């Protein structure tokens, strides 16, 4: 066997007998991995005269990029919006458990909270790579407190805030720090929101519009200032109206700056969005759809009472309500369930369903040069799935971090 020493001593793994999601198509070819990256086999053969050190038979599995969840409030009894002494062990538990759902990277999400919670929790969240310890952390998603009282959903009203004279300084004082923040959800109709959107965008933070009563022109103005995302489309915003479609109208707006794409999150759990609404959004703007779980602490736990930040919520089957009300409050769906439901509800291709949970969130966050694809030189974060899109194994940086226990199936 020719030596691979010319470039690296690291072993080369060749995944064979698989269909790889690349360039929006499932392609029957092998996947080559070395040092946590996806290799170009042509360069390997012709430039290095190299070959595989290990071959793995994938038994005709689909290989797709790892899922990226940009809105997850917790799970398995852990609530990211609660300041606890063992917050780090909580986030570690969630990142480890979601590997079985195919999630290889995520944005821990905090719902509207008092400033003291942000000041305590945010310093304990650090961006980190995934591995056997769990999914990678891309940075926090701060959903609120600069949102509309009318569309607060499950967010506690007494913690909501508006922008005062020093708008961006108000935001900084509330959060304490933006060091590890990746996304901020705010209501664009709030006074002085434009300058806040500009400042956040300047710092490379993704601004999402949500929990809002904004009309279409307010939403378009926010996009012109840099907003690129819509938080859980249709939920906690004005319903579509033919004379003023509100934030929903961004999906087909002709006022989006050239070269820019607006993305939108959807909770495809069969509860938050009727399948017909899911189909309407997908057909109107397929390339912007980003699947999110919006999962709460109760994900992975038995029905009953759990927390979401400052509120008590009740789980009844797949429904989660603020205790004593019929106000929906996050979901208990897992990302792989959302992908399967989305494909079933829309009749879209397998490729489209998988990209809505991988490529699109990576594009939204501007990390698609290394995550969300199986292109050469990308991070080798990927999944093996069967034809029904059930996850069989999860890999991060080319290492297997979770595998379905076949004996238990």
DSSP calls for 326-376 = --B--B---HHHHHHHHHHHH---HHHHHHHTTHHHHHHHT-TTTSSS--T
Burial 232-266 (b: 16+ CB within 10 A, else e): bbbbbbbeeeeeebbbbbbbebeebeeeeebbbbb
Contact 337, 345 (CB under 8 A): no
Contact 397, 129 (CB under 8 A): yes
DSSP calls for 65-97 = EPEEEEEE-EETTEETTS--TTHHHHHHHHHHH
Cis preceding linkage at 289, omega within 30: no
Residue ranges of the binding site for substrate: 154, 235-236, 243, 272, 328-330
Residue 134 phi, psi (nearest 5): 150, 180
Give yes or no: 53 in active site. no
Which of 225, 158, 156 shows the shortest CA–CA distance to 190?
225
Active-site position among 69, 294, 336, 379: 294
Residues labelled as active-site residues:
294
């Amino acid at each position: 066997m020719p030596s691979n020493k010319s470039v690296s001593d690291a072993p080369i793994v060749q995944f064979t007998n698989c269909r790889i999601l690349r360039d929006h198509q499932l392609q029957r070819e092998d996947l080559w991995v070395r040092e946590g990256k996806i290799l170009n086999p042509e360069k390997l053969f012709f430039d290095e005269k190299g070959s595989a050190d290990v071959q793995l038979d994938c038994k005709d599995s689909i290989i797709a990029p790892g899922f990226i969840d940009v809105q997850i409030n917790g799970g398995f009894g852990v609530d990211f919006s609660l300041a606890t002494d063992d917050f780090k062990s909580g986030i570690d538990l969630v990142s480890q458990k979601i590997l079985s759902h195919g999630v290889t990277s995520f944005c821990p999400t905090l719902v509207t909270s008092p400033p003291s919670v942000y000041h305590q929790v945010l310093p304990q969240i650090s961006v980190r790579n995934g591995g056997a310890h769990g999914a990678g952390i891309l940075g926090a998603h701060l959903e609120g407190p600069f949102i509309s009282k009318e569309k607060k959903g499950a967010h506690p009203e007494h913690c909501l805030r508006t922008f005062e004279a020093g708008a961006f300084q108000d935001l900084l004082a509330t959060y304490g720090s933006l060091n590890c923040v990746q996304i901020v959800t705010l209501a664009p109709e709030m006074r002085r929101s434009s300058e806040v959107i500009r400042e956040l965008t300047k710092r490379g933070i993704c601004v999402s519009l949500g929990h809002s009563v904004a009309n279409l022109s307010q939403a378009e103005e926010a996009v012109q200032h840099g907003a690129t995302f819509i938080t859980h489309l249709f939920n906690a915003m004005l319903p579509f109206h033919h004379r003023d479609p509100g934030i929903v109208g961004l999906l087909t707006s002709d006022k989006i700056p050239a070269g820019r794409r607006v993305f939108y999150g959807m909770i495809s759990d069969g509860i938050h969005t009727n399948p017909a609404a899911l189909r309407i959004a997908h057909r109107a703007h397929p390339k912007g759809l980003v699947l999110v779980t919006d999962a709460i602490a109760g994900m992975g736990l038995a029905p009953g009472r759990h927390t979401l930040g400052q509120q008590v919520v009740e789980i009844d089957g797949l429904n989660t309500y603020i205790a004593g009300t019929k106000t929906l409050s996050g979901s208990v769906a897992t990302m792989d369930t959302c992908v399967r439901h989305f494909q079933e509800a829309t009749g879209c291709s397998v490729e489209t369903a998988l990209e809505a949970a991988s490529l699109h969130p990576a594009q939204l966050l501007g990390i698609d040069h290394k995550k969300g694809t199986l292109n050469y030189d990308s991070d080798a974060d990927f999944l093996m799935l069967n034809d029904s899109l059930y996850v069989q194994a999860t890999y991060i940086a080319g290492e297997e971090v979770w595998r379905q226990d076949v004996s238990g199936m």
